[in-house]
């Protein structure tokens, strides 16, 4: 009797795993994710079989940072390319920088999505509107501040080279593609103490 | 006469469950080996000032029961990756030697179980940045463990192998359906969008499809068609199955050359032996 339990339980578990895979993949095609929310930590185990679909990745993300100095002056933006430099030759064979590069892409997508509200949805494929006077303003909402994506980027830029008199740092995500002439700012953080 | 010779030449062998298991083991071992080498080469990103610093990631996953116990291990991620690299080599050896290896029936499930645990840890350690090949590795090791843990129970073995086959087929089919419902893929724009990036694209190919708009519609359409129709692999003659697998491998190699997604080249075909075995279980074919 006990010996027959695995014969029933294991195929059932495998079947449920397949159903969860279908369910969580399909729900990413819409804005709601009730199944993923219910699965909680189990989502670590559930694959998502959307590759560049329904909407393909169409931009490269760029990470820039600047510092506020002790006298109040703000430095010019510096781009850090360590995460985004992917080799063009032999990338079919050896492409380790795709991990941090895709990591920044995933983080950028998530942070941009979080800026959307039910009243003002943001289509991440749309061009962002320029702020008044063309100046970059940090976003007003603070929902994103404790997200893992925000903290990962902030931690990373905080450990970059800074001037000795730098007191605070701020990062910006820009995106570009060959279809655009210029890179576009997508996300500007608050200033944070170094 | 020529027809007979051609038929003989084209005959593809049946594979038994044991052979399927060994082939999958070798292929997942290869994936562990080179993906670990790649991850190890960017180990700076897992250190204190790195993009994937454990100091940050642990705030979000370190409190999860079970994972908190593994926190010292996850904090030394490059060491974990070295273990994963060695395990990849071990799996290749185990799969290649098969029952010639002493205690094969014990060593194999133990090694596969460790690989499965390492897959989970790698996924937990990466809130962003991993490709679908790591998901495929996880479900393949899960199925492989089930298929090897109880070697005398055919029902359980079948459940494991069919699980791998199903996930392998879904990997193509669901991605194909997702593309088919996306406007960008239907119009072919998606191809142009992807190729216009530095991360996944290629500037020469981007210029090529810009100057030949019909190309993006045809190639985009063929990709969607191949992925959506992939499940027919279960219901066709084994010779056609091999042809479909060949197209699949070419598809992944082209993706690796153009887009740099090299981890799919081995990890998706790693499910092919299970799919091939599942095809043999179906007593009828449509072609």
| CA pair distance B143, B31, nearest whole angstrom | 16
Task: Tell me if chain A has a CB within 8 Å of the CB of B65.
Answer: no
Same domain, A112 and A39: no
In a domain, A148, yes or no: yes
Q: Which pairs from B107-111 meet CB under 8 Å and 24+ separation?
A: B108/B21, B108/B25, B108/B148, B109/B145, B109/B148, B109/B149, B111/B87
Same domain, A94 and A23: no
| Residue spans per domain, chain B | 17-152, 171-287
Across A37-58, average pLDDT = 89
In a domain, A55, yes or no: no
Within 8 A of B178 by CB-CB distance, chain A residues are 25, 29, 49-51, 53-54
Task: Tell me if chain A has a CB within 8 Å of the CB of B203.
Answer: yes
Within 8 A of A94 by CB-CB distance, chain B residues are 38, 262
Q: Are strands A166-176 and A60-69 parallel, antiparallel or unpaired?
A: antiparallel
Test mutation, B128, B188, B194, chain A, max A CBs within 10 A: B128
pLDDT at B139: 98
Model confidence at A137: pLDDT above 70: no
Range of the domain at A84: 60-193
Across B173-201, average pLDDT = 92
Same domain, A64 and A91: yes
Model confidence at B8: pLDDT above 90: no
Alpha-carbon gap: A170 to the closest alpha carbon of chain B (Å): 16
ipTM above 0.90, yes or no: yes
Distances from the Cα of A28 to the Cα of A7, A23, A59, A60, B171, angstroms: 33, 9, 20, 22, 15
pLDDT at A181: 87
pLDDT at A130: 47
Same domain, A75 and A36: no
Same domain, A109 and A178: yes
Same domain, A36 and A70: no
Within 8 A of A148 by CB-CB distance, chain B residues are 56-57, 59-60, 127
| CA pair distance B230, B268, nearest whole angstrom | 13
Return the bridge partners of A173, or none: A63, A187
Same domain, A66 and A150: yes
> Nearest-CA residue of chain B relative to A95?
B260
pLDDT at B4: 47
Model confidence at B103: pLDDT above 50: yes
What's the predicted TM-score (pTM) here? 0.91
| CA pair distance B274, B252, nearest whole angstrom | 18
Same domain, A74 and A40: no
Least confident residue range of A113-122, A183-192, B147-156: A113-122
Across B25-35, average pLDDT = 97
In a domain, A53, yes or no: no
pLDDT, tens digit, 9 for 90 and up, residues B200-231? 888 899 999 999 989 999 999 999 999 999 99
Least confident residue range of B28-42, B198-212, B255-269: B198-212
| CA pair distance B95, B104, nearest whole angstrom | 9
Task: Tell me if chain A has a CB within 8 Å of the CB of B170.
Answer: yes
Model confidence at B253: pLDDT above 90: yes
| CA pair distance B223, B136, nearest whole angstrom | 20
Across A65-91, average pLDDT = 91
pLDDT, tens digit, 9 for 90 and up, residues A140-182? 556 677 789 999 999 999 999 999 999 999 999 999 999 998 9
pLDDT at A189: 92
pLDDT, tens digit, 9 for 90 and up, residues B116-144? 999 999 999 999 999 999 999 999 999 99
Same domain, A16 and A83: no
Same domain, A66 and A6: no
| Between A130 and B181, residue with greater pLDDT | B181
Across B57-76, average pLDDT = 82
pLDDT at B255: 95
In a domain, A115, yes or no: yes
| CA pair distance A33, A23, nearest whole angstrom | 9
Model confidence at B25: pLDDT above 90: yes
* For residue A37, cis peptide bond before it (omega within 30 degrees of 0): no
- Determine whether the interchain pair A50/B175 forms a contact, defined as Cβ–Cβ distance below 8 Å: yes
In a domain, A68, yes or no: yes
Same domain, A34 and A67: no
Same domain, A118 and A173: yes
Q: In the structure, what pLDDT confidence band is assigned to residue B87 with cuts at 50, 70 and 90? A: very high
In a domain, A66, yes or no: yes
What's the number of domains chain A is made of?
2
Tokens representing B102? 């002493």
Across B252-261, average pLDDT = 94
């Amino acid at each position: 009797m006990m010996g027959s339990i695995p014969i029933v339980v294991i195929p059932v578990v495998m079947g449920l795993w397949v159903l969860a895979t279908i369910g969580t993949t399909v729900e990413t095609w819409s804005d709601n994710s009730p199944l993923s929310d219910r699965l909680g930590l189990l989502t670590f185990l559930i694959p998502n079989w959307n590759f560049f679909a329904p909407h393909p990745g169409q931009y490269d993300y760029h990470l820039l940072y600047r510092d506020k100095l002790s006298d109040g002056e703000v430095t010019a933006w510096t781009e850090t390319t360590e995460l985004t430099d992917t080799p063009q030759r032999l990338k079919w064979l050896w492409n380790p920088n795709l991990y941090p590069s895709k990591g920044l892409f995933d983080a950028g997508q998530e942070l941009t999505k979080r800026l959307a509200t039910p009243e003002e949805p943001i289509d991440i494929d749309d061009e962002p509107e320029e702020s008044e006077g063309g100046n970059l303003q940090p976003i007003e909402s603070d929902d994103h501040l404790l997200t893992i994506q925000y903290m990962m980027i902030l931690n990373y830029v905080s450990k970059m080279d800074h001037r000795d008199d730098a007191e605070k740092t701020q990062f910006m995500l820009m995106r570009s593609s060959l279809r655009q002439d210029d890179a576009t700012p997508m996300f500007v953080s608050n200033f944070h103490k170094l | 006469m020529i027809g007979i010779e051609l038929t003989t030449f084209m005959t593809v062998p049946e594979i038994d469950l044991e052979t399927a298991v060994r082939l999958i083991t070798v292929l997942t071992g290869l994936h562990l080996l080179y993906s670990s080498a790649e991850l190890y080469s960017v180990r700076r990103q897992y250190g204190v000032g790195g993009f994937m610093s454990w100091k940050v990631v642990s705030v979000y996953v370190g409190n999860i029961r079970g994972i908190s116990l593994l926190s010292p291990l996850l904090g030394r991620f490059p060491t974990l990756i070295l273990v994963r690299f060695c395990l990849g080599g071990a799996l290749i050896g185990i799969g290649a030697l098969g029952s010639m290896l002493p205690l094969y029936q014990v060593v194999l499930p133990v090694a596969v179980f460790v690989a499965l645990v390492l897959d989970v840890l790698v996924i937990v350690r990466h809130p962003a940045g991993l490709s679908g090949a790591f998901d495929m590795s996880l479900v393949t090791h899960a199925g492989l463990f089930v298929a090897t843990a109880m070697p005398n129970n055919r029902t359980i073995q079948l459940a494991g192998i069919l699980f791998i086959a199903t996930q392998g087929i879904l990997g193509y089919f669901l991605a194909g359906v997702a593309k088919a419902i996306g406007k960008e893929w239907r119009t072919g724009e998606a191809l142009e969008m992807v190729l216009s990036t530095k991360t996944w694209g290629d500037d020469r190919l981007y210029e090529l499809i810009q100057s030949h708009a019909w190309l993006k519609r045809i190639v985009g359409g063929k990709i969607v068609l191949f992925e959506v129709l992939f499940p027919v692999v279960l219901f066709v003659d084994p010779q056609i199955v091999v042809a479909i697998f060949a197209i699949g491998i070419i598809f992944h190699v082209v993706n690796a050359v153009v887009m740099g997604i090299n981890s799919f080249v081995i990890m998706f075909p790693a499910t092919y032996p299970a799919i091939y075995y599942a095809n043999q279980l179906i007593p009828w074919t449509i072609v």
